[in-house]
Structure 1
């Protein structure tokens, strides 16, 4: 048996994990669980891991979902762990699917994944990948493109609201710019209805200075052996141009920094350039349908199947009859279980009454 912690060990444990270490901001933030359903294969399993990295830190990165775990099990624990959304991945012979579920009352959005690329494939194709552990300490910034023009459609409104509620809201006046390390981009094509999912790393670089000065500001020690003076390095080396330097000087990606950042060279009230580096995963999504409730309600929207009002009324009547029959069956089962338990208790009491006199008679004979 393990010994109880005492003295300094107990003090360090209390400091590391205080009784109420979760702040109100963390409790209010949306928490998302990402897992797979059924037999999916290794590619979908890796996609699940990549999606968990996107939703960090408000997710369970090492969640173990067994085949025996049903959807009701995850819904039952959602209130205890402040879970607001579920993302499930499944695979059939036709395609791979992703479901976005709002806990506890729905709705459920079902997407078909037309194509996807893992994070490791994207990072390996980059010349200068930007991946480090600290960028996952804060939630990513959500950017949605092409959704405002189609806000009149009900399914677009529901999709926009669902994605917005999956990420923490940001107050522009009080946000700390140093915490914005990642960005999730959702771009909707109005012609074919496909949605592009991208995940980027955000890096802020100083502008208006030469490449040599950037090296000095970033703490890099230059090789001055081939120069006679520091001025030769600043002027000659600074005149050399690179594709990255030219990209930083674009007018579209320049912003005025309103805060003092931790990175070197980015001063308050000065212009800086924003560079996005894709870190994956990459997905092309197609919205198939929207269901009311948790994967078992009425179909609010379907991309390919359209029904008349009369057919919708018939389906609602059939669903109401199914629910009524199911409730009656459940009530009958509960009554039958109660009768069996009562009968079992009565039989156990009768057996105990029969055994006691026999034991007393044996002792009397002895």
Structure 2
């Protein structure tokens, strides 16, 4: 009996945990990353690399055929609670990257000035850090230099922020921070630098030999007279293995992090290793809608701030009217249902009264026997 009760409790706990995870996952933004048009092999590989960046809140095995229209993709994305489309396309002149917010827009169109695939970035490094556990959680988004440079810059920052779940700095678990996505805006050239890094935290204040021993990676000690030489100076290690740390990456940990020596209230060094892909983007156009609608910003056609404000106010009015119509439709539906219920209750009462009343003869039928007797 105890085993059965314990197993039932465990099953109930697992079901509740799974339901909680599904609810938490449904509340997070999700994305589709795919190509449109005749994209080459490099663009298709760049699409796969972008899916790795957006994991785990993206469709990693998404397959979209040429005959599937954008409207069909939007219709499929609704039930799946997909909030963003990341679309890569290629023309004869350049490569373009579109970022769409579902279901009502806006759509940001970027020109990809330069890009490097994951394989190119990794091959340029002597040592890289990339494993599957890094992609179990979304990356940490870092926006740099997104200041008051115009409404389009503010809109870009908001779109990139909404791509990933929000973070509570007081409750966040640092063990889930395995990757970092850096987007740097250059106000002079009006270009964005897209960089993807892996995060590694190591303790400071110990020699490199001690760190190797903590990591269970025993270096060669054949040239040493005593083990103290290794612990004190790190002798016998090649200069290429050392990684310089300084004030730019040393911090005090607020909580323990997985790894030997990373204790709370102790100083550790945060090291970033680029894992790709790498892109240089320039905003070309901002549209009010999913791939269509009024152009709110264009890099070749400049509009005044008053005109852009008028477009935004018109969109806000349309959204308010749409919400009012939905509320009115819901109210009308409730009234119809209430009226239907009242009519059904009245019919039931009339039917029950007819069944409960005794049978009675009419006056003509009561006079017929007397007339016959006469």
TM-score, with normalisation over the residues of structure 1? 0.76
Equivalent residue number for residue 205 of structure 1: 202
CA contact (8 A) 2:100 2:290 kept: yes
CA contact (8 A) 2:97 2:109 kept: yes
SS in 1 for 2:83: strand
Whole-Å Cα distance in 2 between the matches of residues 233 and 303 of structure 1?
Answer: 59
In the TM superposition, 1:274-285 aligns within 5 A as: 274-285=270-281
SS in 1 for 2:92: coil
Equivalent residue number for residue 319 of structure 2: none
Choose 1 or 2 for highest CA Rg: 2
2:302 equivalent among 306, 323, 328: 306
CA-to-partner distance for each residue in 1:228-281, whole Å, 9 max, x for gaps?
Answer: 432233235359684664522x11111110111111111110011111110000
SS in 2 for 1:45: helix
1:77 CA drift (Å) = 1.8
- Within the alignment, does 1:141 sit opposite 2:140 as a pair? yes
Equivalent residue number for residue 247 of structure 1: 244
Change (3 A) 1:246 1:119: closer
Equivalent residue number for residue 258 of structure 2: 262
Equivalent residue number for residue 273 of structure 1: 269
CA-to-partner distance for each residue in 1:216-236, whole Å, 9 max, x for gaps?
Answer: 111112333444432233235
In the TM superposition, 1:65-80 aligns within 5 A as: 65-80=64-79
Change (3 A) 1:236 1:290: closer
- Within the alignment, does 1:61 sit opposite 2:60 as a pair? yes
Equivalent residue number for residue 195 of structure 1: 192
Equivalent residue number for residue 322 of structure 1: none
Change (3 A) 1:199 1:19: closer
CA contact (8 A) 2:116 2:276 kept: yes
Equivalent residue number for residue 87 of structure 1: 86
Question: Structure 1 unaligned runs (5+)?
Answer: 1-11, 316-366
CA contact (8 A) 1:52 1:60 kept: yes
Whole-Å Cα distance in 2 between the matches of residues 246 and 135 of structure 1?
Answer: 21
Equivalent residue number for residue 295 of structure 1: 291
- Within the alignment, does 1:232 sit opposite 2:232 as a pair? no
SS in 2 for 1:23: helix
Whole-Å Cα distance in 2 between the matches of residues 119 and 149 of structure 1?
Answer: 33
Change (3 A) 1:242 1:258: farther
| RMSD (CA atoms) | 2.7
CA contact (8 A) 1:213 1:238 kept: no
Equivalent residue number for residue 367 of structure 2: none
Change (3 A) 1:243 1:222: closer
Change (3 A) 1:221 1:93: same
CA-to-partner distance for each residue in 1:71-97, whole Å, 9 max, x for gaps?
Answer: 111211222222110001111111110
